[in-house]
């Protein structure tokens, strides 16, 4: 979704689109006169690819993220972590079709949210079409709704990385519903919908570096600060119970991320191919870079470091996927990996917050590096797809403004959502349950018998 | 020489270890165990099948020390593993007849 999506229902090309044109890859096609729009036709190849991408993103959540996060927690909290991720993703799917989609991508509306005309998917039928980035080429709107639905679901699940092992299941559900409503839907609208604030500013975010990763990372940090540290952190030995599971989760995330990034082209075309190759090489470079920086700091290159580097690279390449050349992406991945390493190894202990699974350290920091870096690697002189008249300084101002606004919005919205969850549920499990493990205390089961 | 066996709550291990190290205890053996006493176990339900096991996960610590040190070891464990709640565990003290360090062949107190 590097550009906003126009839904087919009789929409012409508004001035908002024209203002944002320099940031787009296919502006020639979009500059077709609004007076004579080409009739839209559903392309079956694109549709098949988008259906595949959608379920690839689902696989990133279940089991990808669930295993990745679950393996990093202690054995007594494995089921709690996996169940919170799965349940909050399901909640996001239901809210999405009720009012999330219309808030983010409905007709009308303003800078911050769309209109509510598509609440409960009103008026959408199997014949409804969603535009792609090529004039006249569409995919069924139901496919677009599903694709975007998985993004909402994974973003709220990512936030949980900082609060696992101590937050009540009920609190997670209340927090998730409020957070999606006041943080995710507005930011998705602002970045990706044609009427959105950042979209009109021409912000570059191919697949969700800002909407998904900075948003989730900053929210995770704020949530962890309000929730407080786990009992025993950082003096007791709190270590991942299964790096094997984390390794499996990492692989599933990487594979699924091709749906996330290359799917964001909305078509099976060259733009998707660019996103695909970048999702390979930026990630490869980041995985190795993390191990190298471990060595440079006098440690052994570690398996968890490798997995962390992979995810940092995937995060950083997300906004840049179709907005960078492959070699720009390699550099971007390596830089993000190194910066994330220092964030989780030095910044976190120094500041003392308990971001349990480093949702902020990797998604927040990696997302910021990616979002700012995208304004650089987009330049044609660096092999990016930008036009010859690309103005890097202007683009960087836009990128910084988008990142800054997202940070503030996410921080305020998360604070509201967490305190609301606290008022309704008490937020945190009892000390006894936390010691015994949330698997038994919250779910009445053990992961391993 | 005495063998001190302590059954404690798992999260107390670090504190107990620290207390014993301060006393000059040079080593210990730790095992993850399950058992029951007065503390009740949790109820688990899998698709409606309910199991209430009395078995609670605990840590068993075994320390062999010079007889003169045994009382202080017991005191240190009792103080550091105490939460005041049911399930804090128990301490047992046994006599040890002989000890040998495998590498050097040293025996008894000098083998500890």
Tens digits of residue pLDDT in A298-355: 999 999 999 999 999 999 999 999 999 999 999 999 999 999 999 999 999 999 999 9
Q: Is the pLDDT of residue A12 over 60?
A: no
Q: Which of chain A's residues have a Cβ under 8 Å away from the Cβ of B44?
A: 440, 444-446
Confidence of residue A125 (pLDDT cuts 50, 70, 90): very high
Residue A435 lies in a domain: yes
Q: What angle do CA A364, A365, A369 make, to 5 degrees?
A: 120
Question: Across the interface, do A445 and B45 touch by the CB < 8 Å criterion?
Answer: yes
Which structure tokens are listed for A256? 């699924």
What is the maximum span of chain B, computed from C-alpha positions, in angstroms? Answer: 58
- Confirm if A376 and A319 have CB atoms less than 8 A apart: no
Residue A23 lies in a domain: no
A446 contacts B44? CB cut-off 8 A: yes
Do A445 and B46 lie within an 8 Å CB cutoff? Answer: yes
pLDDT digits (tens, 9 = 90+) for A245-270: 999 999 999 999 999 999 999 999 99
ipTM associated with this complex: 0.77
Cα–Cα distance measured from residue A322 to residue A385, given in angstroms and rounded to the nearest whole number:
8
Nearest to A444 among B11, B14, B44 (CB): B44
Cα(A165)–Cα(A227) distance, rounded to whole angstroms?
11
Percentage of chain A modeled with pLDDT above 90 = 88
Q: What is the pLDDT of residue A235?
A: 87
Tell whether A431 lies on the interface with B, counting CB pairs under 8 A.
no
With a pLDDT cut of 70, the percent of chain A lying above it is: 92
Q: Could you tell me which chain A residue has the CA closest to the CA of B85?
A: A432
Report the residue of A241, A440, A441, A443 to disrupt the B interface, i.e. the one with the largest count of B CBs within 10 Å.
Answer: A440
Contacts of residue A435 in chain B, CB cutoff 8 Å? 9, 11
Q: Please answer yes or no on whether B11 and A435 come within 8 Å at the CB atom.
A: yes
pLDDT confidence bin for A38, thresholds 50/70/90:
low
Cβ of A444 within 8 Å of Cβ of B45? The answer is yes
CATH of the domain at A419: 1.10.3430.10
- Judged by CB atoms closer than 8 Å, whether chains meet at A436 and B46 is answered as no
Where is pLDDT greater, at B51 or A294? Answer: A294
Nearest residue of B to residue A238 by CA position? B11
CATH class of the region B2-111? alpha beta
**Closest chain A CA to residue B56:** A436
Report strand pairing: A137-140 vs A129-131: antiparallel
Residue A157 lies in a domain: yes
Contact B11 A232 (CB under 8 A): yes
Q: Closest approach of chain A CAs to the CA of B10, in angstroms?
A: 9
Structure confidence by residue, pLDDT tens digits, A170-203: 999 999 999 999 999 999 999 999 899 999 999 9
Confidence grade of residue A19 (pLDDT, cut at 50, 70, 90): very low
Least confident of A131-145, A151-165, A354-368, B40-54: B40-54
pLDDT at B47: 86
pLDDT, residue B41, reads 75
Check pLDDT > 70 for residue B92. Answer: yes
**Could you tell me the two tokens for B17?**
């270890």
- The answer to whether the CB atoms of A236 and B14 lie below 8 A apart is yes
Tell me how close the Cα of A110 comes to any Cα of chain B, in angstroms.
48
Q: Is the pLDDT of residue A8 over 60?
A: no
3-state secondary structure chain A: CCCCECECCCCCCCHHHHHHHHHCCCHHHHCCCCCCCCCCEECHHHHHHHHHHHHHHHHHHHHHHHHHHHHHCCHHHHHHHHHHHHHHHHHHHHHHHHHHHHHHHCCCCCCCCCCCCCHHHCCCCCCCEEECCCCCEEEEHHHHHHHHHHHHHHHHHHHHHHCCCCECHHHHHHHHHHHHHHHHHHHHHHHHECCCHHHHHCCCCCCCHHHHHHHHHHHHHHHHHHHCCCCCCCCCCCCCCCHHHHHHHHHHHHHHHHHHHHHHHCCCCHHHHHHHHHHHHHHHHHHHHHHHHHHHCCCCCCHHHHHHHHHHHHHHHHHHCCCCCHHHHHHHHHHHHHHHHHHHHHHHHHHCCCCCCCHHHHHHHHHHHHHHHHHHHCCHHHCCCCCCCCCHHHHHHHHHHHHHHHHHHHHHHHHHHHHHHHHHHCCECCHHHHHHCHHHHHHCCCCCC
Phi and psi, residue A26, nearest 5°: -110, 45
B45 CA: distance to closest CA in chain A (Å): 6
* Whole-number Å distance between alpha carbons of A357 and A67: 12
Best of B8, B10, B11 to disrupt the A interface (most A CBs within 10 Å) is: B11
Looking at the complex, report in whole angstroms how far the Cα of residue B43 sits from the nearest Cα belonging to chain A: 6
- Whole-number pLDDT of residue A240: 97
Number of domains, chain A:
1
Residues in chain B within 8 Å Cβ distance of A437 = none
Instruction: Classify B89 as helix, strand or coil.
Output: strand
Q: Chain A partners of B43 at a C-beta cutoff of 8 Å?
A: 444
| Residue A27: pLDDT over 70 | no
Q: Which residues of A343-355 are buried (b: 16+ CB within 10 A; e: fewer)?
A: bbbebbeeeebbb
Mutate to test the interface with B, among A166, A239, A437, A444 (most CBs of B within 10 A): A444
What are the tens digits of pLDDT across the range A230-241?
A: 999 998 889 999
- Expressed as residue numbers, the domain containing A78 is 41-440
Closest by CA position to A235, among listed B61, B2, B13: B13
Predicted pLDDT of residue B54: 76
Task: Report yes or no on A151 lying in a domain.
Answer: yes
Q: Is residue A29 part of a domain?
A: no
Asked whether residue A11 is domain-assigned, the answer is no
Residue of chain B with shortest Cα separation from A432: B85
- Residues in A 202-241 with any Cβ partner in B closer than 8 A: 231-232, 235-237
CA distance B81 to chain A (A): 14
Residue A31 resides in a domain: no
Q: What is the pLDDT of residues A60-85, one digit of tens each?
A: 999 999 999 999 999 999 999 999 99
A24 domain residue, yes or no: no
Per-residue pLDDT, averaged over A107-120, amounts to 92
């Amino acid at each position: 979704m590097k550009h906003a999506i126009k839904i087919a229902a009789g929409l012409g090309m508004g001035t908002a689109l024209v203002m944002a044109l320099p940031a787009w890859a296919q502006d020639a096609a979009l500059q077709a006169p609004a007076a004579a729009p080409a009739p839209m036709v559903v392309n079956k190849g694109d549709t098949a690819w988008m259906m595949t991408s959608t379920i690839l993103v689902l696989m990133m959540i279940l089991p990808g993220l669930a295993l990745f996060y679950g393996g990093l927690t202690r054995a007594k909290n494995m089921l709690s972590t996996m169940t919170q991720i799965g349940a909050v993703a399901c909640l996001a799917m239901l809210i999405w079709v009720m009012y999330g989609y219309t808030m983010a991508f409905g007709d009308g509306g303003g800078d911050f949210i769309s209109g509510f005309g598509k609440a409960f998917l009103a008026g959408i039928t199997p014949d409804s079409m969603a535009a792609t980035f090529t004039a006249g080429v569409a995919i069924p709107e139901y496919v677009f709704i599903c694709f975007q639905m998985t993004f909402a679901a994974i973003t709220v699940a990512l936030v949980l990385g900082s609060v696992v092992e101590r937050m009540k299941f009920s609190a997670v559900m209340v927090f998730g519903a409020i957070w999606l409503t006041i943080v995710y839907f507005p930011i998705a609208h602002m970045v990706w919908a044609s009427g959105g604030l950042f979209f009109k500013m021409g912000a570059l975010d191919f697949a969700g570096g800002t909407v998904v990763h900075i948003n989730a990372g900053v929210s995770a940090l704020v949530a962890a600060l309000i929730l407080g540290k786990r009992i025993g952190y950082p003096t007791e030995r709190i270590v991942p119970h299964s790096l094997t599971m984390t390794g499996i989760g990492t692989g599933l995330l990487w594979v699924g991320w091709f749906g996330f990034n290359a799917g964001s082209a909305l078509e099976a075309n060259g733009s998707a191919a660019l996103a695909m190759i970048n999702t390979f090489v930026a990630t490869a470079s980041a995985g190795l870079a993390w191990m190298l920086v471990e060595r440079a700091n006098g440690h052994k290159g570690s398996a968890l470091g490798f997995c962390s580097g992979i995810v940092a690279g995937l995060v950083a390449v997300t906004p840049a996927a179709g907005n960078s050349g492959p070699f720009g992406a390699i550099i971007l991945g390596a830089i993000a990996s190194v910066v994330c390493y220092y964030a989780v190894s030095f910044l976190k202990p120094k500041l003392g917050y308990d971001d349990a699974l480093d949702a902020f350290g990797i998604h927040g920091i990696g997302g910021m590096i990616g979002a700012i870096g995208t304004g650089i690697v987009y330049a044609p002189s660096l092999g990016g797809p930008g036009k010859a008249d690309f103005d890097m300084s202007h683009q960087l101002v836009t990128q910084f403004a988008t990142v800054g606004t997202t940070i503030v919005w996410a921080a305020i919205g998360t604070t509201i959502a967490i305190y609301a969850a606290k008022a309704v549920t008490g937020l945190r499990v009892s000390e006894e349950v936390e010691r015994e493990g949330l698997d038994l205390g919250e779910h009445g089961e053990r992961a391993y018998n | 020489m005495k063998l001190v066996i302590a059954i404690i709550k798992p999260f107390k291990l670090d504190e107990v270890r620290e207390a014993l190290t301060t006393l000059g205890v040079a080593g210990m053996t730790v095992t993850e165990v399950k058992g029951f006493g007065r503390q009740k176990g949790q109820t688990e339900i899998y698709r409606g099948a309910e199991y209430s096991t009395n078995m609670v996960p605990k840590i068993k610590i075994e320390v062999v020390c010079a007889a003169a040190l045994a009382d202080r070891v017991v005191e240190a464990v009792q103080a550091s593993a105490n939460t005041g709640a049911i399930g804090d565990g128990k301490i047992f003290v046994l006599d040890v007849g002989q000890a040998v360090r495998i590498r050097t062949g040293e025996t008894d107190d000098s083998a500890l």
